[in-house]
Structure 1
Amino acid sequence: MKNAYPKKPMLPYQRTQVEMSVVIQAIKKISFPLEVKRAGYMVFRKESGNGQSGINFNFFGLQADAGQWPDKYDNLIAGVVSKIENGTGKTRLFLAFNNLVDSLTMLLDRLQHRGLFVGGQVDMDKLDIHMPVPDINQFARAYKKCWAAGDKNAEPNTEDIKGFRSMYSQAKTIFL
């Protein structure tokens, strides 16, 4: 396992939790298009267990051992945390963020860059995933393929789609 950020400090693991009301207020203050904010809200909820499961403000499992992220994120990254990954049981290196806003800023930027929002267009040559995202059902499919599974053949189950429909309905009333 190679640390892509050898100049950043290794930090002790700290489980971070945050109330969704705080997350909502933070997302509202960050300057991104409306649909990207809605996508960020849904992905945050899904990836973090509604704010209850973060690693040093990393609520999305962004890793530090799979290569460097674009330089524009360097000032958002506080350091690197070594922790056993859920699911695989392997020790991995995760990004640690300075605070919630820095974490959300990177999340929203990554979603916008990938086109992973309602009204977006996902084009990931590396995974051979090319699909429009005109509605919440296609968002659920794109999320499963290019974020959760990293597999162009992955498909969400009925409960996943139902969950995203519910979260999107909420997001449309929160982010106007």
Structure 2
Amino acid sequence: CAVCGEEDSFEDNPIVLCDRCDLAVHQNCYGVHRLPQGEWLCDPCAAGETTSTLGCPGCPRKGGALKRTRDGEWGGWAHVVCTLFLPETGFLEPEALDRAAGFDLIHPDRKKLKCHLCDDAGDRVCGGKIQCTHGRCQKAFHPTCGMAHGLTMQITDEGNIGYCAAHAPGAPAKARAQGRRRKSKA
């Protein structure tokens, strides 16, 4: 699933595949209320857009699981993952995961963080980043970069969490120790 990273389809939350761009998402992760009898199109494809060319105000990545933004602001589209994980953003219609908003509220310091997973050095204020949930780890990353690199990211009732590779639950002790050494040099 392009939103949660889980590859399994479930009886109560099946993966649906866009018949135009091949986007694979769980029904609940993308806000599909009813499974279609025939063809299913993701929101950009249903709107006649070329998904692979659409950007997001939350990150430098194009394409993926995108939803419309409030009143077409910020380019008109935003990644579901960015909207869910950036603390300042959210959906005005949460049940439908529709009308992404809050990108103008992203704190300037969050924009200035360097994503350690992508080459955003040319535009340090590109989107917003989240920081590793572990202790005082300083590693930051765009939510979509975290998903693309298979980092542990979860949406919980207590708040959303994301771990860098060194601090992921179950990470080898050597990786955790390297993360501590790097952090102590800073």
- TM over 0.5: same fold? no
Q: Which has the higher contact order (CA 8 A, sep 6+)?
A: 1
Larger Rg: 2
